[in-house]
Amino acid sequence: MEEVRIGVLVSGGGTNLQALMDACMEGEIHGRVVLVISNRDDAYALERAADMGIRGQFVSPRDYRGEDYDRELIRLLREEKVQLVVLAGYLRVLTPLFIDEYRDRIINIHPSLIPAFCGKGFHGERVHRAVLESGVKQTGATVHLVDEGTDTGPILLQETVSVLEDDTVESLQKRVLKLEHRILVKAVGEMCLELGNENIGGNHEASID
């Protein structure tokens, strides 16, 4: 069984990317990150990729209009024969073109218990601030497949984190991030096993209009 070729889209620091690359290297995931794409040229995730000897590519949103941006992403991903796409803090909405191309093969991690604290505007520390302001005692993280909606796709994994009395946005974010790394690695690992088994009967052929 060949390793599944993974592409990761990022916008920021990329600790989830790091967790993925580490897990691949350590054999925890039967896959390999072969391409990291960022929509921001200052994303630290690009350096993380470089440090691991993985191709990191900045694609500037200024250079493309509408679907053309995602068309360029698809071109790059196909170039690297990517079979599975992981969004690791990618703060840009994917077009239907992209979602169609990688239908059921795009995984996202969200730092709350969907359907709570998700949807447009809820990302990064804003999620944890909203959690603290609401007074809920339980939060968590969710790994899900990406569909045309925002945080609406089928849930793969979801685990919880207790909110503590003296939690700050930072302390809560730190604990949830740890959980994110764990369940993202687990979900990507499971998905790679599935895709690996499918591929015994022939590789996934990507097509683009």
CB of 130 to a copy of itself, least distance (A): 10
Residue from 110, 123, 144, 181 carrying the catalytic annotation:
110
Q: CA distances (Å), 93 to each of 57, 61, 141, 151, 169, in order?
A: 18, 12, 20, 11, 25
Residue of the chain from 17, 113, 184, 188 that contacts a copy of itself (CB under 8 A): 113
- The verdict on 157 binding a copy of itself (CB under 8 A) reads yes
Only segment of 4-12, 13-21, 119-127, 149-157 that touches a copy of itself (CB under 8 A): 149-157
Instruction: Please tell me whether residue 137 binds a copy of itself under the rule CB under 8 A.
Output: yes
Is 30 catalytic? The answer is no
Is 149 one of the binding residues for a copy of itself (CB under 8 A)? Answer: no
Residue among 160, 168, 197, 203 that touches a copy of itself (CB under 8 A): 160
Q: Binding a copy of itself by CB under 8 A: which of 1, 61, 81, 138?
A: 138
**What character string, x for contact with a copy of itself (CB under 8 A) and - otherwise, covers 14-53?**
----------------------------------------
The answer to whether 154 contacts a copy of itself (rule: CB under 8 A) is yes
Q: Which residues bind a copy of itself (CB under 8 A)?
A: 113-117, 134-138, 140, 142, 154-155, 157-160
Report, as residue numbers or ranges, the catalytic residues. 110
